[in-house]
A and B are shown apart, each in its own frame.
Chain A
Amino acid sequence: MSVEQFVLQALNGLAIGSLLFILAAGLSLVFGMMDVANLAHGAFYMLGGYLAYTIVRGSTSACFRASIDFWIALLVVPLVMAVVGFVVAGALLRPLRGKHLEQVLLTIGVAIVLADLVRACWGGEVLSLPAPRGLDASVTVVGQPYPLYRVFLIAFGIALAIALWLVQERTKLGALIRAGVADTEMLAALGVDTERLFAFTFAAGAALAGLAGVVGTPILGLAPGIDDTVLILSLVVVVIGGMGTLSGAIVGAFIVGPANTFGALLVPEFALAFIFMVMAAVLLFRPAGLLRR
Chain B
Amino acid sequence: MSSLGRILLGVAFVALLLSFARWSPERFWVSVVIQMLISGLFAMSLDLLVGYAGLASLGHAAFFGVGAYAFALVAKHVSPSVAVALPGAALAAAIAALVIGVFSVRASGIFFLMLTLAFAQMLHALAFGWIPVTGGSDGLSSVPRPDVGVSGVNLFLTSNFYVFVAVVFVVGALALRAVVNSRFGLALAGVRENERRMRALGYDTTRLKLVAFVVAGTFAGIAGALQASFDQFVSPGDVFVTTSVTALVMVLVGGAGTLAGPVLGAIVVVSLRTFLADQPLVGARWETLLGALFVLTVLFARHGLIGIVRGGLSWPRSP
Contacts and interface: CB of A to CB of B under 8 A. Distances in A.
Interface of A: 35-37, 92, 94-97, 100-102, 104-106, 108-113, 115-117, 120, 195, 228, 232, 235-236, 239, 268-273, 276-277, 279-280, 283-284, 287
Contacts of B242: 228
B298 A276 contact: no
Given A106-B299, A120-B288, A287 B107 contact: yes
Contacts of A100: 109-110
B291 A276 contact: no
Contacts of B319: 94-95, 97, 195
B299 A92 contact: yes
Nearest to B253: A109
Contact of B248 (A108, A277, A283, A287): A108
A235 B129 contact: no
A110 B107 contact: no
Nearest to A274: B125
B295 A106 contact: yes
Contacts of B131: 269
Contact of B125 (A35, A106, A273): A273
A105 B56 contact: yes
Given A116-B287, A117-B288, A283 B114 contact: yes
Interface of B is mostly: helix
A109 B291 contact: yes
A269 B252 CA distance: 35
Contact of B285 (A111, A120, A232): A120
B285 A96 contact: no
Nearest to B121: A276
Given A113-B288, A116-B288, A287-B107, A280 B295 contact: no
B122 A280 contact: yes
Nearest to A98: B317
Interface string B227-258: 00000000000001110010011001000000
A109 B298 CA distance: 9
B170 interface: no
Q: How large is the interface on B (under 10, 10 to 19, 20 to 34, 35 or more residues)?
A: 35 or more
A112 B294 contact: yes
A276 B285 CA distance: 32
Interface string B286-319: 0110111011001100000000000000001111
A239 B295 contact: no
Contacts of A106: 295, 298-299
Contacts of A271: 125
B118 A95 contact: no
Contacts of A277: 122
B117 interface: yes
Q: Which of B103, B114, B242, B285 has the most CB of A within 10 A?
A: B114
Given A96-B316, A101-B110, A273 B129 contact: yes
Contact of B126 (A113, A270, A283): A270
A233 to B, nearest CB: 10
Interface in B40-90: 56
Given A97-B319, A105-B56, A272-B125, 8 more contacts: A95-B316, A95-B319, A105-B252, A109-B292, A112-B294, A269-B129, A273-B122, A276-B118
B292 A113 contact: yes
A109 B294 contact: yes
A112 B107 CA distance: 26
Contacts of B240: 228
Contact of A112 (B56, B110, B287): B287
B103 A116 contact: no
9 contacts: A35-B110, A37-B114, A101-B113, A109-B298, A120-B288, A236-B118, A272-B121, A276-B118, A283-B115
Contacts of B56: 101, 104-105
Interface hub of A96, A97, A283 (most chain B Cβ within 10 A): A283
A277 to B, nearest CB: 6
Given A100-B110, A269-B131, A270-B126, A112 B290 contact: yes
A239 B128 CA distance: 23
